[in-house]
Amino acid sequence: MDVSIVIPLLNEAESLPELNAWLVSVLEAESLDYEIWYIDDGSSDESWEVIEALRLENQRVKGLRFQRNYGKSAALQMGFERVTGQVVFTMDADLQDSPDEIPGMLKRMRDEGLDLLSGWKKKRYDPLSKTLPTKLFNAATRRLSGVRNLHDFNCGLKAYRLQVVQSIEVYGEMHRYIPVIAQWSGFKKIQEQVVQHRPRKYGHTKFGLERFVNGFLDLLSIYFISKFRRKPMHFFGTMGSLAFVMGAVSTAWLIFRKLYLISMGSPHRDVTDQPLFYLSLTLVLLGALLFCTGFLAELVARNNPDRNRYLVQAVLD
Protein backbone atom coordinates (compact mmCIF):
# COMPACT_ATOMS: atom_id res chain seq x y z
CA MET A 1 0.00 0.00 0.00
CA ASP A 2 1.27 3.47 -0.88
CA VAL A 3 -0.23 5.75 1.76
CA SER A 4 -1.96 5.49 5.12
CA ILE A 5 -3.71 8.48 6.69
CA VAL A 6 -4.22 8.54 10.47
CA ILE A 7 -6.71 11.12 11.75
CA PRO A 8 -7.37 11.39 15.50
CA LEU A 9 -10.60 13.21 16.30
CA LEU A 10 -12.87 14.33 19.10
CA ASN A 11 -16.37 15.66 18.36
CA GLU A 12 -15.73 16.51 14.71
CA ALA A 13 -18.94 15.13 13.16
CA GLU A 14 -19.55 18.30 11.14
CA SER A 15 -16.16 18.35 9.43
CA LEU A 16 -15.70 14.62 8.69
CA PRO A 17 -17.81 14.31 5.48
CA GLU A 18 -16.10 17.32 3.89
CA LEU A 19 -12.64 16.17 5.01
CA ASN A 20 -13.17 12.62 3.74
CA ALA A 21 -14.46 13.77 0.34
CA TRP A 22 -11.47 16.09 -0.01
CA LEU A 23 -8.99 13.36 0.97
CA VAL A 24 -10.48 10.77 -1.39
CA SER A 25 -10.47 13.28 -4.24
CA VAL A 26 -6.77 14.11 -3.74
CA LEU A 27 -5.62 10.50 -3.23
CA GLU A 28 -7.53 9.06 -6.16
CA ALA A 29 -6.40 11.88 -8.43
CA GLU A 30 -2.84 10.71 -7.71
CA SER A 31 -3.83 7.06 -8.35
CA LEU A 32 -2.56 6.05 -4.92
CA ASP A 33 -3.34 2.85 -3.09
CA TYR A 34 -4.47 4.21 0.28
CA GLU A 35 -6.28 3.68 3.56
CA ILE A 36 -7.78 6.30 5.88
CA TRP A 37 -7.91 5.55 9.60
CA TYR A 38 -10.26 7.67 11.73
CA ILE A 39 -9.50 7.25 15.45
CA ASP A 40 -12.49 8.46 17.48
CA ASP A 41 -11.12 9.56 20.84
CA GLY A 42 -14.35 9.06 22.81
CA SER A 43 -16.52 11.59 20.98
CA SER A 44 -19.85 12.52 22.54
CA ASP A 45 -21.41 13.69 19.26
CA GLU A 46 -22.27 11.69 16.11
CA SER A 47 -18.67 11.34 14.92
CA TRP A 48 -18.69 7.53 15.06
CA GLU A 49 -21.97 7.29 13.16
CA VAL A 50 -20.45 9.51 10.47
CA ILE A 51 -17.39 7.26 10.27
CA GLU A 52 -19.60 4.20 9.93
CA ALA A 53 -21.46 5.87 7.06
CA LEU A 54 -18.19 6.80 5.35
CA ARG A 55 -17.04 3.20 5.69
CA LEU A 56 -20.17 1.96 3.90
CA GLU A 57 -19.41 4.32 1.02
CA ASN A 58 -15.70 3.46 0.77
CA GLN A 59 -14.06 0.29 2.11
CA ARG A 60 -10.71 2.08 2.24
CA VAL A 61 -12.08 4.09 5.16
CA LYS A 62 -11.39 2.42 8.50
CA GLY A 63 -12.20 3.43 12.04
CA LEU A 64 -11.44 2.76 15.67
CA ARG A 65 -13.46 4.09 18.59
CA PHE A 66 -12.25 4.52 22.18
CA GLN A 67 -14.64 3.81 25.04
CA ARG A 68 -13.65 7.17 26.53
CA ASN A 69 -11.34 10.08 25.84
CA TYR A 70 -7.69 9.02 26.15
CA GLY A 71 -5.96 11.85 24.31
CA LYS A 72 -4.34 12.48 20.95
CA SER A 73 -1.18 10.47 21.71
CA ALA A 74 -3.20 7.34 22.45
CA ALA A 75 -5.20 7.81 19.25
CA LEU A 76 -2.06 8.17 17.14
CA GLN A 77 -0.43 5.13 18.76
CA MET A 78 -3.44 2.94 18.00
CA GLY A 79 -3.41 4.18 14.42
CA PHE A 80 0.33 3.57 14.05
CA GLU A 81 -0.12 -0.02 15.21
CA ARG A 82 -2.60 -0.70 12.37
CA VAL A 83 -1.31 1.13 9.30
CA THR A 84 0.28 -0.67 6.37
CA GLY A 85 1.13 2.16 3.93
CA GLN A 86 4.78 2.75 3.03
CA VAL A 87 4.28 6.43 3.90
CA VAL A 88 2.06 7.34 6.85
CA PHE A 89 0.41 10.76 7.12
CA THR A 90 -1.15 12.25 10.22
CA MET A 91 -3.50 15.21 10.15
CA ASP A 92 -6.19 16.86 12.25
CA ALA A 93 -9.88 16.40 11.53
CA ASP A 94 -10.88 20.07 11.89
CA LEU A 95 -10.08 21.02 8.25
CA GLN A 96 -7.22 23.28 9.35
CA ASP A 97 -4.81 20.87 7.60
CA SER A 98 -5.15 20.80 3.83
CA PRO A 99 -5.17 17.38 2.06
CA ASP A 100 -3.81 19.21 -1.01
CA GLU A 101 -0.41 19.17 0.73
CA ILE A 102 -0.20 15.36 0.62
CA PRO A 103 1.09 14.88 -2.98
CA GLY A 104 3.91 17.39 -2.53
CA MET A 105 4.94 15.95 0.82
CA LEU A 106 4.80 12.40 -0.56
CA LYS A 107 7.06 13.40 -3.45
CA ARG A 108 9.65 14.85 -1.07
CA MET A 109 9.52 11.75 1.13
CA ARG A 110 10.27 9.55 -1.88
CA ASP A 111 12.74 11.77 -3.73
CA GLU A 112 14.82 12.68 -0.67
CA GLY A 113 14.48 9.37 1.16
CA LEU A 114 13.23 11.10 4.31
CA ASP A 115 12.27 9.41 7.54
CA LEU A 116 9.93 12.20 8.62
CA LEU A 117 8.59 15.35 7.01
CA SER A 118 6.91 17.78 9.39
CA GLY A 119 4.55 20.54 8.36
CA TRP A 120 5.24 24.14 9.34
CA LYS A 121 2.25 26.45 9.58
CA LYS A 122 4.30 29.55 8.98
CA LYS A 123 1.24 31.77 8.65
CA ARG A 124 -1.35 30.94 11.28
CA TYR A 125 -4.97 32.02 11.76
CA ASP A 126 -4.90 31.72 15.54
CA PRO A 127 -5.21 34.50 18.15
CA LEU A 128 -2.07 36.00 19.71
CA SER A 129 -2.85 34.20 22.96
CA LYS A 130 -2.17 30.94 21.14
CA THR A 131 0.53 31.88 18.61
CA LEU A 132 2.89 33.57 21.09
CA PRO A 133 3.03 30.65 23.56
CA THR A 134 3.42 28.31 20.59
CA LYS A 135 6.51 30.19 19.36
CA LEU A 136 8.06 30.17 22.84
CA PHE A 137 7.24 26.47 23.22
CA ASN A 138 8.82 25.60 19.86
CA ALA A 139 11.94 27.63 20.64
CA ALA A 140 12.39 25.86 23.99
CA THR A 141 11.86 22.48 22.35
CA ARG A 142 14.47 23.17 19.65
CA ARG A 143 17.05 24.15 22.24
CA LEU A 144 16.43 21.29 24.65
CA SER A 145 15.81 18.49 22.15
CA GLY A 146 18.60 19.25 19.69
CA VAL A 147 16.20 19.08 16.72
CA ARG A 148 17.20 22.46 15.34
CA ASN A 149 15.63 22.45 11.88
CA LEU A 150 11.93 22.36 12.89
CA HIS A 151 9.84 25.43 13.65
CA ASP A 152 6.46 23.81 14.38
CA PHE A 153 6.68 20.62 16.43
CA ASN A 154 2.94 20.57 17.13
CA CYS A 155 1.73 20.72 13.52
CA GLY A 156 -0.68 17.83 13.02
CA LEU A 157 0.24 17.37 9.35
CA LYS A 158 3.29 15.10 9.16
CA ALA A 159 4.56 12.31 6.92
CA TYR A 160 6.50 9.30 8.21
CA ARG A 161 8.24 6.33 6.73
CA LEU A 162 6.41 3.19 7.89
CA GLN A 163 9.44 1.93 9.82
CA VAL A 164 9.41 5.10 11.93
CA VAL A 165 5.87 4.68 13.26
CA GLN A 166 6.52 0.97 13.84
CA SER A 167 9.62 1.73 15.91
CA ILE A 168 8.41 4.46 18.25
CA GLU A 169 5.87 4.56 21.07
CA VAL A 170 3.66 7.58 21.75
CA TYR A 171 1.84 8.01 25.06
CA GLY A 172 0.81 10.70 27.54
CA GLU A 173 0.92 13.95 25.58
CA MET A 174 4.09 13.13 23.67
CA HIS A 175 2.52 13.45 20.22
CA ARG A 176 4.07 16.93 20.10
CA TYR A 177 7.52 15.37 20.26
CA ILE A 178 7.32 12.62 17.68
CA PRO A 179 10.17 14.22 15.65
CA VAL A 180 12.26 14.30 18.83
CA ILE A 181 11.44 10.68 19.67
CA ALA A 182 12.20 9.66 16.08
CA GLN A 183 15.58 11.40 16.05
CA TRP A 184 16.60 9.94 19.40
CA SER A 185 15.58 6.53 18.01
CA GLY A 186 18.12 6.92 15.22
CA PHE A 187 15.99 8.34 12.40
CA LYS A 188 18.05 11.33 11.31
CA LYS A 189 16.49 12.30 7.98
CA ILE A 190 13.95 14.78 9.34
CA GLN A 191 12.93 17.83 7.35
CA GLU A 192 10.24 20.51 7.36
CA GLN A 193 7.85 21.84 4.75
CA VAL A 194 5.74 24.98 4.87
CA VAL A 195 2.04 24.05 4.72
CA GLN A 196 -1.18 25.98 4.61
CA HIS A 197 -3.01 26.70 7.84
CA ARG A 198 -6.72 27.08 7.21
CA PRO A 199 -9.15 28.84 9.58
CA ARG A 200 -11.31 26.51 11.66
CA LYS A 201 -14.63 26.04 9.90
CA TYR A 202 -16.60 24.00 12.44
CA GLY A 203 -16.59 23.65 16.21
CA HIS A 204 -13.87 24.93 18.51
CA THR A 205 -10.38 23.96 19.63
CA LYS A 206 -10.07 21.10 22.13
CA PHE A 207 -6.79 22.30 23.65
CA GLY A 208 -6.14 24.99 26.27
CA LEU A 209 -3.04 26.77 27.54
CA GLU A 210 -2.37 23.96 30.03
CA ARG A 211 -1.02 21.88 27.13
CA PHE A 212 2.16 24.00 27.11
CA VAL A 213 2.88 23.19 30.76
CA ASN A 214 2.11 19.50 30.25
CA GLY A 215 4.09 19.53 27.01
CA PHE A 216 7.21 20.91 28.70
CA LEU A 217 7.02 18.27 31.43
CA ASP A 218 6.65 15.59 28.77
CA LEU A 219 9.73 16.92 26.98
CA LEU A 220 11.75 16.55 30.18
CA SER A 221 10.42 13.00 30.54
CA ILE A 222 11.41 12.11 26.97
CA TYR A 223 14.87 13.60 27.47
CA PHE A 224 15.46 11.65 30.68
CA ILE A 225 14.11 8.35 29.36
CA SER A 226 16.08 8.63 26.10
CA LYS A 227 19.36 9.43 27.83
CA PHE A 228 19.19 7.31 30.97
CA ARG A 229 16.60 4.54 30.48
CA ARG A 230 19.26 1.84 30.19
CA LYS A 231 21.73 3.46 32.60
CA PRO A 232 19.80 5.35 35.33
CA MET A 233 22.74 5.09 37.75
CA HIS A 234 24.68 7.44 35.49
CA PHE A 235 22.17 10.17 36.29
CA PHE A 236 21.35 9.47 39.91
CA GLY A 237 24.92 8.45 40.72
CA THR A 238 26.34 11.67 39.30
CA MET A 239 23.85 13.84 41.15
CA GLY A 240 24.32 11.82 44.35
CA SER A 241 28.11 12.05 44.12
CA LEU A 242 28.01 15.81 43.69
CA ALA A 243 25.64 16.28 46.63
CA PHE A 244 27.60 13.90 48.87
CA VAL A 245 30.99 15.43 48.07
CA MET A 246 29.72 18.99 48.57
CA GLY A 247 28.19 18.05 51.92
CA ALA A 248 31.25 16.12 53.08
CA VAL A 249 33.70 18.84 52.04
CA SER A 250 31.72 21.62 53.72
CA THR A 251 31.39 19.54 56.91
CA ALA A 252 35.12 18.83 56.92
CA TRP A 253 35.80 22.53 56.41
CA LEU A 254 33.63 23.45 59.44
CA ILE A 255 35.44 20.91 61.64
CA PHE A 256 38.88 21.99 60.41
CA ARG A 257 38.02 25.65 60.95
CA LYS A 258 36.88 24.98 64.52
CA LEU A 259 40.07 23.03 65.33
CA TYR A 260 42.17 25.80 63.81
CA LEU A 261 40.45 28.49 65.89
CA ILE A 262 40.88 26.39 69.04
CA SER A 263 44.59 25.95 68.35
CA MET A 264 44.95 29.70 67.85
CA GLY A 265 43.00 30.45 71.05
CA SER A 266 40.44 32.45 69.06
CA PRO A 267 36.70 32.62 69.80
CA HIS A 268 34.74 29.92 67.98
CA ARG A 269 31.23 28.53 67.64
CA ASP A 270 30.12 24.94 67.93
CA VAL A 271 29.78 23.21 64.58
CA THR A 272 26.14 22.40 65.32
CA ASP A 273 25.39 26.08 65.96
CA GLN A 274 26.15 27.02 62.35
CA PRO A 275 23.48 26.88 59.59
CA LEU A 276 26.08 25.58 57.12
CA PHE A 277 26.34 22.37 59.16
CA TYR A 278 22.68 21.54 58.59
CA LEU A 279 22.93 22.38 54.90
CA SER A 280 25.96 20.08 54.67
CA LEU A 281 24.12 17.32 56.51
CA THR A 282 21.18 17.68 54.12
CA LEU A 283 23.51 17.37 51.11
CA VAL A 284 25.11 14.21 52.52
CA LEU A 285 21.71 12.61 53.14
CA LEU A 286 20.46 13.72 49.72
CA GLY A 287 23.52 12.18 48.09
CA ALA A 288 22.90 8.88 49.86
CA LEU A 289 19.23 8.90 48.84
CA LEU A 290 20.12 9.58 45.20
CA PHE A 291 22.57 6.69 45.26
CA CYS A 292 19.86 4.38 46.63
CA THR A 293 17.46 5.64 43.97
CA GLY A 294 20.06 4.89 41.30
CA PHE A 295 20.58 1.33 42.54
CA LEU A 296 16.82 0.70 42.61
CA ALA A 297 16.45 2.15 39.12
CA GLU A 298 19.26 -0.12 37.89
CA LEU A 299 17.45 -3.15 39.33
CA VAL A 300 14.25 -2.11 37.56
CA ALA A 301 16.10 -1.49 34.29
CA ARG A 302 17.84 -4.87 34.41
CA ASN A 303 14.50 -6.63 34.87
CA ASN A 304 12.86 -4.72 32.01
CA PRO A 305 11.93 -7.23 29.25
CA ASP A 306 12.90 -4.60 26.65
CA ARG A 307 16.36 -3.95 28.12
CA ASN A 308 18.05 -5.57 25.10
CA ARG A 309 15.63 -4.35 22.47
CA TYR A 310 17.47 -2.26 19.87
CA LEU A 311 16.47 -0.86 16.50
CA VAL A 312 18.34 -2.73 13.76
CA GLN A 313 18.66 -1.11 10.34
CA ALA A 314 20.33 -3.94 8.42
CA VAL A 315 21.90 -7.38 8.97
CA LEU A 316 24.45 -9.30 6.91
CA ASP A 317 24.47 -12.87 8.21
| Domain coordinates in residue numbering, the chain | 3-227, 232-302
Residue 38 exposed, middle or buried by CB count within 10 Å (0-12, 13-18, 19+): buried
What fold, for 3-227?
Spore Coat Polysaccharide Biosynthesis Protein SpsA; Chain A (3.90.550)
E strand map for 91-239: 116-120, 158-161, 190-194
Confidence at residue 137, expressed as pLDDT on a 0 to 100 scale: 78
What is the reported pTM?
A: 0.75
Residues in contact with 137: Cβ distance below 8 Å, sequence separation at least 6, in sequence order:
153, 154, 212, 215, 216
Q: Are 7 and 33 in contact (CB under 8 A)?
A: no
pLDDT of residue 274: 85
Q: Provide the pLDDT for residue 270.
A: 84
Mean pLDDT of the chain: 86
**67 alpha carbon, distance to own chain's centre:** 24
Give the pLDDT means over successive 10-residue stretches in the chain (317 positions). 95 95 96 96 94 95 93 92 96 93 96 95 72 77 82 92 93 84 90 88 62 69 70 86 92 88 83 86 92 84 62 53
Q: How far apart are the C-alpha atoms of 46 and 16, rounded to whole Å? A: 10
Q: What is the pLDDT of residue 202?
A: 72
Question: What pLDDT does residue 316 have?
Answer: 43
